[in-house]
């Protein structure tokens, strides 16, 4: 559980940082639109509540989770929005309290899971560490939506390594959901962390390469910024195509963000 414990600690810290951003918001600020179409700040927190609660269900009652997964399969394009809409009617104080309670219960369940546990999910089953990484990625990404809505600037942290890792590991999935055959060869990905450290994935001699700041890469794979607004660069046609379609999240391809300079 050592690797899982480390990422669970980082997940808790990521959640606490976002909590501090929203804890003192006015009712008007909770209704402020975010870059996600039709979603307010309240929708973003509602979505995190729903996902944490579903993850808790998957970790503690796989049969009940299977029922929820079947509902999602029956309405793949709407079940996420519907879940957020059902929760967003709750007043902000109650919404915040429910998020705090749900994410702590998920923490406890994941920390108590026996070694080797595989948790069912909407894709392949996940290890405890992978589930915690996925929750951190979503918390950071939806936190970025909230920060953008509020005009807040968040300092990049070392926790972004988890987001980058899941983005790299999801490369073939990004091609799959676009109906494109994934490249057969691995890419070399070299990302520069805020402290100057270079974080690398893939064989050193790969001809297809991606380089850039760690923070920019995380914005790219979570589709929180358009690649034209980021300093992420590709060498090779396959790597270049990946930067157009990369996604670290499960589900259908997202609409992404338009470049700040004009229409996409």
For the CA atoms of the chain, what is the radius of gyration?
18
Q: What is the mean pLDDT of residues 7-35?
A: 97
Q: Please check whether residue 42 is in contact with residue 30, taking contact to mean a CB–CB distance below 8 angstroms.
A: yes
Check residue 123 and give its pLDDT: 80
Mean pLDDT score of the chain, rounded to an integer?
Answer: 93
CA distance 6 to 159: 10
Strand pairing of 209-213 and 188-192?
A: parallel
**Band of residue 260 on the pLDDT scale cut at 50, 70, 90:** confident
Q: Transcribe 232-258 into DSSP letters.
A: -EEESHHHHHHHHH---SSSSPP----
Check residue 194 and give its pLDDT: 92
Element housing 188 (H / E): strand 188-192
Helical residues (DSSP H) of 75-127, grouped into ranges:
79-88, 92-112
Q: What is the mean pLDDT of residues 231-243?
A: 98
Q: Please check whether residue 222 is in contact with residue 140, taking contact to mean a CB–CB distance below 8 angstroms.
A: yes
Check residue 84 and give its pLDDT: 84
More confident site: 75 or 4: 4
| Residue 105 tokens, joined | 């219960």
Check residue 76 and give its pLDDT: 65
User: For 109-167, how does the pLDDT look when each residue is reduced to its tens digit (9 = 90+)?
Assistant: 999 999 999 999 988 899 999 999 999 999 999 999 999 999 999 999 999 999 999 99
Check residue 263 and give its pLDDT: 41
List the single range of 62-66, 75-79, 86-90, 233-237 with lowest mean pLDDT. Answer: 75-79
More confident site: 76 or 140: 140
Check residue 69 and give its pLDDT: 87
pLDDT at 94 over 80: yes
**Band of residue 77 on the pLDDT scale cut at 50, 70, 90:** low
The total of other beta-carbon atoms located within 10 Å of residue 228's CB is 12
pLDDT at 198 over 80: yes
- Provide the percentage of residues in the chain whose pLDDT is more than 70: 96
Check residue 264 and give its pLDDT: 40
pLDDT at 204 over 90: yes
């Amino acid at each position: 559980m050592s690797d899982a414990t480390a990422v669970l600690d980082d997940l808790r810290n990521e959640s606490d940082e976002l909590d501090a951003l929203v804890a003192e918001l006015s009712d008007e600020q909770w209704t402020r639109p975010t870059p996600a179409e039709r979603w307010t700040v309240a929708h973003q927190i509602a979505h995190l509540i729903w996902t944490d609660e579903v993850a808790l269900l998957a970790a503690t009652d796989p049969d009940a989770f299977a029922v929820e997964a079947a509902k999602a399969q029956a309405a793949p394009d709407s079940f996420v929005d519907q879940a957020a809409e059902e929760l967003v009617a709750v007043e902000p104080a109650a919404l915040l309290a429910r998020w705090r309670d749900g994410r702590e219960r998920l923490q406890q369940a994941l920390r108590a899971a026996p070694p080797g546990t595989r948790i069912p999910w909407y894709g392949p089953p996940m290890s405890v560490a992978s589930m915690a990484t996925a929750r951190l990625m979503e918390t950071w990404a939806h936190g970025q939506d909230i920060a953008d809505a509020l005009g807040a600037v968040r300092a990049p942290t070392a926790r972004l390594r988890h987001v980058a890792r899941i983005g790299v590991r999801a490369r073939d999935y990004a091609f799959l959901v676009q109906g494109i055959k994934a490249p057969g060869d691995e890419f070399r990905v070299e990302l520069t962390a805020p402290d100057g450290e270079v974080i690398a994935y893939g064989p050193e001699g790969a001809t297809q390469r991606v380089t850039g700041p760690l923070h920019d890469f995380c914005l790219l794979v979570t589709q929180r910024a358009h690649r034209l607004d980021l300093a992420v660069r590709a060498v090779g046609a396959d790597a270049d195509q990946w930067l157009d379609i990369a996604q670290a999240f499960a589900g259908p391809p997202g609409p992404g963000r338009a470049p700040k300079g004009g229409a996409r």
